[in-house]
Amino acid sequence: MIDYHLHLWEHSQSDVGYALDQVAAYCERAVSEGVSELALTEHAFRFRDVVQSVGDFWTREGHEPSGAMAEYFDFHARNSLSDYVTFAQRAKDEGLPIRIGLEVDLYRGRMEPLAELLAQFPFDVLIGSVHWLDQWLFDDLDSELQMAEWRRRDVGDVWRDYGEAMLELAQSRVVDVLAHPDVIKVAGYRPANPEALWEVITEAATSADLSVEVSSAGWFKPAQEAYPAPGLLDRLVSAGVRFTTASDAHRVERVAARLAEVGDLLSMRGVTTLAAYEGRRRVNVPLRGGSPVHSE
């Protein structure tokens, strides 16, 4: 097994530091859970370099709820991408079983300059996410302002907009993996017809030849199920999509959490290999244990 979605810091932290002991503890925890390789994938919006590259995109994306995105980025974007990559490379050079990654959101109209920035660093894997629609941080469960939007919007329209964003992210060709692909269900709001989104996500993955993350994180949210949903996972498997596995942990106690169950979801559908990455090249590895099968 692999855990290809890990963060160094909690969302409540702003100015942050780096500790090799923390990554070593992540690795120790992972090994105890049968996980042999990890990817550090801190949020791109944590870094000043990224925000300078994409600019204040929220001013072009409407104003609901007013001011939320500006405040969010002012709080989070206080760190150096170069420092982060240097630290991750040091951990890798120390022999810890990690890959250097980043979780990259969709920045409409600004993905090309962002790609140019990211190309300057030795990333092994870039995972792609959609965490906001316009200025709406739909997965900020601790914000009453953000959660109130769920109660006033049409859920079907929200899921459609999310699907369009995921397709745009995939077609930008900036990322290698679609992370928590149906995270739009995080707060527990679902339309009568989720299959419409499932079709779009499957198209997004196959059209850009992206791997898709199977994540245990949804089990710890109001969604109360893994990402992706069983029906979406069935479609992705049928379409021949490759998969990574992930916990989306922000602290050591959650590293590799319930990944054995994630493995079961895949194995019962006939999946025997996972997609690992090195230097942004996909390498097929056995679902459980063993050595790489081949690279692409």
Whether residue 151 lies inside any domain: the answer is yes
Residue 199 belongs to domain spanning: 2-269
pTM over 0.85: yes
Backbone angles phi, psi at 217, to 5 degrees: -60, -35
Q: What pLDDT score does 290 carry? A: 53
Residue 274 lies inside a defined structural domain of this protein: no
pLDDT for the residue numbered 296: 62
Q: Provide the 10 A C-beta neighbour count for residue 116.
A: 10
pLDDT value of residue 288: 87
Is position 193 within any domain? yes
Report the distance separating Cα 241 and Cα 212, nearest Å.
7
DSSP 154-223: -HHHHHHHHHHHHHHHHHTT--SEE-STTGGGTTS---S-THHHHHHHHHHHHHTT-EEEEESGGGGSTT
CA distances from 225 to 159, 215, 262 (A): 17, 9, 11
10-residue mean pLDDT profile of the chain (296 residues): values are 95 83 97 96 93 79 61 83 96 96 94 96 98 92 93 97 98 98 98 96 98 98 97 98 98 96 97 97 88 54
Residue 85 in domain: yes
Residue 27 maps to which CATH number?
A: 3.20.20.140
Please, which residues have CB within 8 angstroms of residue 52's CB and are 6 or more apart in sequence? none
The pLDDT score that the predictor gives to residue 54 is 86
Task: Dig out the tokens for 94 from the structure.
Answer: 């120390």
pLDDT for res 258: 97
Residue 145 lies in a domain: yes
Tell me, what's the pLDDT at 134? 84
- Cα 152 to Cα 40, 64, 93, 146, 208: the distances in Å are 36, 12, 50, 11, 34
Partners of 214 in the β-ladder: 245
Residue 286 resides in a domain: no
Angstrom distance (rounded) from CA 243 to CA 237: 9
Q: Is residue 248 part of a domain?
A: yes
Number of domains in the chain: 1
Residue 63 placed within a domain? yes
pLDDT of 291 reads: 52
